[in-house]
Structure 1
Amino acid sequence: MRRFASSKALILVVALGLMAAACGGEDTSSEEVSAAQAQAAAAQSDAAAAQSEAAAAQSEAESAQAEAEAAAAALAQAQADLEAAQAAASAAMEGDEASQSALADAQAALEEAEQRAAATAEASEAAVAAAESALAEAEQALDEAMMEQEAAAGPVTVRAAITGDEATLNPYTYISGFPGWNLLMLQYDSLMQLDAAGIPQPWLADTVSVNADLTEYSFTMVEGVTWHDGQPLTAHDVDFSVDYYINNVEASRFARDLRGVEDLVVTGDYSGTFVLGSPKAGFELAALADIPIIPRHVWEGVEVPSEHDFGATNIGTGPYKLVEYVEGQSYRFEANPDYFRGAPAVAELVVIVYADDAGAQAAIRTGEVDVIFERIPPEQIPLLDAQDPLDIALGPEFTTQMINYDASKRPFDDVAVRQAINLAMDRQDIVDTVFLGAATVGSPGWIHPEHRSFNPSMIPVHDVAAANALLDEAGYLDSDGDGVREFDGQPMSFEIITNAPDSLRLRIAELTVEMLAGIGIETSVAAVETGTWEQAVWPEFNVNNGRNYDIAMWGWSAPVQADPLRLPQLVASVEAGGFLNLTGYASAEMDALSAALPVESTEAGRIAILLRMQEIIAEELPFALLLYPDGAYVFDSSVYSDWEFIAGQGIVSKLSLLPPSARP
């Protein structure tokens, strides 16, 4: 079966599928079916003709390329002949007629070869242009065929699986960074939106500009956007949203995105300027493409947002309205037909909650759901891909799998212990065993190897002997010979807490137990419910509440890794703004670098700071980063197939449910 990335190439397959789709609607009259069949047949013919033209043009281009290569070879030979003739002429007596004749012949051959090469190159360029034009026509035919297929099939309903309830999905109640935030943003919009490459583009904003010292971010807005209840969206709603998040920090992370914002000056009904107290690079990605704008007329009377009853639905500007929520069971979203970027391609989205990924996988096998809104385990990729009509969307992601430890208490406050744990972890084995190769080995310095600010000196090392030597030298010995080292008169025996519904993370925890046993550290796995796990590692999602664990398997959603400028949030001390610092790590140099990074106005300067921060992380190990999983999502292509894979983040976004013409 095909992979998602190749769908554009299968023009005839999609076109042929129109006939079946045209006949598949239960509520379609015979006349409508006949008309749809005729449209489908015409689309099939157009697509086939376009593909044939593209193939012919491609063949011509290949032939022209071969001729160009032959001409180039002839040109090279002529040049060689000319050089030989010139050498002979130099060696011969001046006026030697034979030498002069050879030289003239070689020059003529060279001119002829140059003329032939130029003519062939011109023909080759024309053939390539024709091939590109034919391909564009074929792709247009495909798009038209897909639109006709959707029209013939009628409104599309997609049923999606998730593993875990996400509460009422407003900015103060959603639970997880993934998929909770993703589902939240189906209902709401931000000023900017990530495109398929993961780059922020204007969305509710029509334009965004920044001044030279990165302290003022100005925007103009798309006019005519309305809330779900029909009220107009204006810059006053943006101003209200910013003020509300800053002054109502309870249970919301968006106040953190807005740290440093001193004012939002509304300069018109559809324009304004964020005024920052100091330079802040990356504000577009960290805030403007992340913060949901909320309606002032709905929220201005809400005093305790996490407890407020908003009635039947959340009010946003997004492409979907949440019209039904059954706690612990399901969500139902209806498309917003008046969405300012265009009506969604999917009319209804039903999200069903399963206890674990095994239940979700069973559901898609039996046709109970049409897509899983979470990554599937690597071992399931070939099995699910082999089942028609299921397909797999694959791509690299910036999510992480890592080991946290409470670095504020013994023995994890000793860098030697943290370094030993890091050396004991065989990352490649985890990638191969748990992810079957569908992941990238983690950098000890945190930043993904494909990012331009990655420090190439960050090389993960697996060395059990070195780990044992470190612990021996630091005085962590096995005095009673039971295979477990001691610290402060007690055994180095700890619990590794992880969330039970995540089978991949659970398997990593089990391998971690085996690897740490090799250096005399005894561990056991405590697999608990997600809420219990989060409460132990990140109580109330507030680092000021401390920690209630020794060792924990952990991972951050894609936005944290995708933006290296967020690194201070992870490694600055809590007092210095490390509001994602879940291990209690503290370093004076890291705090200084964390303070310098967001105010550095040049990219070269920011990268230099990031390179040094990576070195410190790799040496002092506030956490042990293990790997970056690839994203693998399974979907039923007979129901809906136009999923958009955002680089580093996957398919669960509003872009996937909008028509291609509405995407940035």
Structure 2
Amino acid sequence: MIARFALAASAAFAMTVSASAQRTDLTLGMVLEPPHLDPTAGAAAAIDEVVYANVFEGLTRIASDGAVQPGLAENWVISDDGLTYTFELREGVTFHDGTTLDAGDVVFSLDRARGEASVNAQKALFEPIENVEQMDELTVEITLSRPAGDFLYNMGWGDAVIVAPESAETNKENPVGTGPFRFAEWQKGAAVTLERFDGYWGEAPALEQVTIRFIPDPAAATAALLAGDVQAFPNLPTPESIPQFEADPRFEVVIGSTEGETILSTNNAKAPFDDIRVRQAIAHAIDRQAIIDGAMFGLGTPIGSHFAPHHPAYMELVETYPYNPERARELLAEAGHGDGISATLKLPPPSYARRGGEVIAAQLREVGIDLEIIPVEWAQWLEQVFTNTDYDLTIVSHTEPNDIGIYAREDYYFNYDNDDFDAVIDELSVTAGEDARYELFRKAQQIIAEDAVNGYLFQLPKNGVWDARLEGLWENSPVQANDVTGVRWTQ
């Protein structure tokens, strides 16, 4: 009887393993729901996290290690003066609606992204382009007005994906790309479903269906993983639950790095924050490690400027304004605010913002800055803060790679203006040599650190937790992506 039970149990286990090995579906969790699904028409990182590499592709693509790889262009030639890039497109590429990709689609996409009517959130990526010309059906020549050392990298951003004129205007609700997955369904407020595209030009993904569930509540995210309702959370919003998952053999926990500079964004054009002494006071009032411990349960790297610590050009500037509440109070008094300041702090949904906001509000209260905390949904944040600059302070992670150039943009939501900084970025834009570029990156970091443009808090970690039988999910996030093209179930 015992032997018969053991044999039956063994058979059942074998059947379970076999079923697991053959599994071709995945439910993946995300905190934020994107406002739409067109990466060429929005700033929200959540857009790329759904569609980058999965649905849409560019001439190049950024791999999990940050390297530039061929995308829709299988190869390219760069002229000796660095001004002409000739891309050869892959043959046999079709969009999900059956239309064929050709050089005309590339011309259309890049001209659309850099045109006067462009709504591309990263229009600056295309500023060096002087002309885009179709040489033949599968060859495109791009002429630059000046050398751009990061041009191939920029063409791998989600904002630079190639779209078709037949579907470009409806990509927000019905995205049509060339990637290995096609859009199937969007249940607003709940999930987006992608299905394997059988007409894909490259290697077919192992997964047949991917459902991306939006779970803004941290506790619900943890519960969904534990229950198996979600099999992967590439950016788990509950760092306090990491030890629990590390102790559970059903899960793999991978703590990686991101490009997410988490900052106390400041409206530099609005009194009293237009006074550098007030911004310096805030910088001195911030205890970064206490914020990391309180909001991130110790996971995160302190930063003193808008730059990722893992980058070779990173400067350690945390001590530019060390934690010093007494000096903060002195600076406020010097600025005429000895009796204190009242302001608002608008917080989007991510837990790093909501939890971090509580800690920062307590820290600033100690030096005489009283903050009214205003929780906002993501769509509200994009409209009120990012678009209309209707805010005093906010907390957000900027996850775009090497994005220090945003401080030179006119009308950007920081409302920062510094001619010396702009000159550094202008020089950087025409500099191709790695050593020279790194030196310019360091100059830029130092300027905005000394100007205390924002409160620089910490580099956002990538707290990945997923079913231990999964492989192929990214450890790090060099770009905003949940690339599932290489994900598969194993025993």
Q: What's the offset of the Cα at 1:360?
A: 2.1
The residue number in structure 2 matching 1:133 is none
Check 1:452–1:440 CA distance in 2 against 1; reply closer, same or farther (3 A cut): same
1:463-542 paired onto structure 2 within 5 Å: 463-478=324-339, 485=340, 492-499=341-348, 501-539=349-387
* Residue of structure 1 in register with 2:143 after alignment: 275
Q: Calculate the TM-score normalised by the size of structure 2.
A: 0.89
CA apart distance, 1:281: 2.2
The question of 1:180 aligning with 2:47 is answered: yes
Further displaced range: 469-478 or 640-649 = 640-649
1:171-210 equivalent positions in 2, closer than 5 A: 171=39, 176-177=44-45, 179-185=46-52, 186-210=54-78
Partner of 1:24 in structure 2? 16
* Per-residue deviation, residues 48-101 of structure 1 (Å, max 9, x unmatched): xxxxxxxxxxxxxxxxxxxxxxxxxxxxxxxxxxxxxxxxxxxxxxxxxxxxxx
For 2:464, which of 627, 633, 638 is the aligned residue? 633
Q: Tell me what 1:296 maps to.
A: 165
Distance apart, 1:379 and its partner CA: 0.6
Note the C-alpha offset of 1:435. 1.9
1:617 maps to 2:486: no
Q: Deviations over 1:101-147 (max 9, x none)?
A: xxxxxxxxxxxxxxxxxxxxxxxxxxxxxxxxxxxxxxxxxxxxxxx
* Partner-residue secondary structure (3-state), 1:274: strand
- Paired letter, 1:183: V
Q: Which runs of structure 2 are paired with 1:123-162 in the superposition (5 Å)?
A: 153-162=21-30
Matches within 5 A, 1:363-374: 363-374=224-235
What's 1:450 paired with?
A: 310
Q: Which residue of 1 is the match for residue 5 of structure 2?
A: none
Letter of the 1:608 counterpart: E
2:482 aligns with 652
User: Deviation at 1:297?
Assistant: 4.0
Superposition deviation, residue 189 in structure 1: 0.8
Tell me which of 53, 71, 95 is aligned to 1:227: 95
Q: Does 1:549 align with 2:373?
A: no
2:405 aligned to 568, 571, 579, which one? 568
Distance 1:160 1:271, change over 3 A: same
Structure ranking higher on relative contact order (CA contacts 8 Å, 6+ apart): 2
What's the CA shift string for 1:242-272, capped at 9, x where partnerless? 1222337454325342123121122222222
Aligned-pair CA distance for 1:457: 5.6
Does the 8 Å contact 1:249/1:255 carry over to 2? Answer: no
- Give 2:319's match in structure 1, choosing from 459, 477, 499: 459
- 2:282 aligned to 391, 401, 421, which one? 421
Deviation at 1:439, TM superposition (A): 0.9
Once the two structures are overlaid, the 10-residue window that deviates more, 277-286 or 548-557, is: 277-286
SS at match of 1:451: coil
Distance 2:42 2:233 in 1: 19
Separation in 1 of the partners of 2:13 and 2:167?
42
Q: 1:172 Cα shift?
A: 5.5
Offset, 1:382: 1.1
Shift of 1:336: 1.6
* Equivalent residue letter for 1:587: N
Contact 1:155 1:347 in 2 (8 A): no
Judging changes above 3 Å, is the alpha-carbon distance between structure 1 residues 173 and 618 closer, same or farther for their aligned structure 2 residues? closer
Distance 1:589 1:168, change over 3 A: closer
C-alpha spacing 1:275/1:468, structure 2 compared with 1 (3 Å)? same
Distance 1:414 1:248 in 2: 34
Q: Is the 8 A contact 1:337 1:344 kept in 2?
A: no
User: Which is higher, the Rg of structure 1 or of structure 2?
Assistant: 1
Deviation of residue 395 (structure 1)?
A: 0.9
Pair 280,650 (structure 1): closer, same or farther in 2 beyond 3 Å: closer
Instruction: Specify the code of the residue in structure 2 equivalent to 1:600.
Output: T
CA offset at residue 329 of structure 1?
2.1
CA offsets per residue over residues 447-505 of structure 1, 9 Å max, x none? 22331112346635211222222223333212xxxxxx2xxxxxx11111101x32221
Letter in structure 1 aligned against 2:451: E
Work out the CA distance in 1 between the residues paired with 2:61 and 2:11.
36
Q: Distance in 2 between matches of 1:23 and 1:453?
A: 52
Q: How far did residue 603 of structure 1 move?
A: 2.5
**8 Å CA contact retained: 1:251, 1:306:** no
The CA distance in 2 between the partners of 1:659 and 1:243, in whole Å, is: 41
- Within a 5 Å distance, the mapping from 1:289-368 to structure 2 comes to 289-290=157-158, 291-299=160-168, 302=169, 305=170, 313-368=174-229
Report the Cα distance in structure 2 between the residues aligned to 1:221 and 1:378, rounded to whole angstroms: 43
Deviation at 1:658, TM superposition (A): 7.1
Q: What percentage of residue pairs aligned between the two structures are identical?
A: 24
Normalized per residue, the structure richer in strand is 2
Pairing of 1:391-430 with structure 2 (within 5 A): 391-430=252-291
Deviations 1:604-638 (CA, angstroms, capped at 9, x unpaired): 32222222212211111211210002111221234
Residue of structure 2 equivalent to 1:40: none
1:514 shift after superposition: 1.2
- Partners of 1:289 and 1:614 lie apart in 2 by 22
Of residues 457-466 and 624-633 in structure 1, the stretch that sits farther from structure 2 once superposed is: 457-466
Change (3 A) 1:277 1:250: closer
Amino acid in structure 1 at the alignment position of 2:397:
G
Contact 2:221 2:236 in 1 (8 A): no
Structure 2 residue runs without a partner (length 5+): 1-9
Secondary structure at 1:515 match in 2: helix
Q: What is the rounded CA distance, in whole Å, between the counterparts of 1:400 and 1:435 in structure 2?
A: 14
Over 3 Å counting, the alpha-carbon distance change for 1:306 and 1:345 in structure 2 is closer
Alpha-carbon distance, 1:209 to partner: 3.6
Structure with the higher fraction of residues in helix conformation: 1
Does structure 1 residue 386 correspond to structure 2 residue 247? Answer: yes
Which letter maps to 1:294? Answer: V
> Normalised by the size of structure 1, how large is the TM-score?
0.67
Aligned-partner Cα distance in 2 for 1:19–1:176: 48
Provide closer, same or farther for how the CA distance between residues 218 and 621 of structure 1 changes in structure 2, counting only shifts above 3 A: farther
Instruction: Look up the equivalent residue of 1:568 and give its one-letter code.
Output: G
The answer (yes or no) to whether the contact 1:191–1:205 under 8 Å persists in 2 is yes
| 2:292 paired with 1:431 | yes
**Match of residue 82 from structure 1:** none
Letter in 2 for 1:365: L
Contact kept in structure 2, 1:497 and 1:552, CA below 8 Å = yes
Q: Give the match's secondary structure for 2:319.
A: coil
CA root-mean-square deviation: 2.7
- Judged with a 3 Å threshold, the aligned counterparts in structure 2 of structure 1 residues 239 and 20 are, in CA distance, closer, same or farther, namely farther
- Residue 61 of structure 1 is matched in structure 2 by none
Give the superposition deviation at 1:181.
Answer: 0.8
CA contact (8 A) 2:34 2:44 kept: yes
The separation in 2 between residues aligned to 1:237 and 1:538, in whole angstroms, is 31
* 1:9 paired residue number: none
Q: Counterpart of 1:643?
A: 473
State the number of aligned residues. Answer: 478
Structure 1 distance, partners of 2:315, 2:261, is 18
In structure 1, runs of 5+ residues without a counterpart are 1-17, 26-35, 37-148, 479-484, 486-491, 540-545
AA aligned opposite 1:554: V
Q: Cα 1:180–1:314, aligned 2, differ >3 Å: closer, same or farther? A: closer
User: Take 2:41 and 2:229, find their aligned partners in 1: how far apart are those partners?
Assistant: 28
Distance 2:82 2:11 in 1: 55
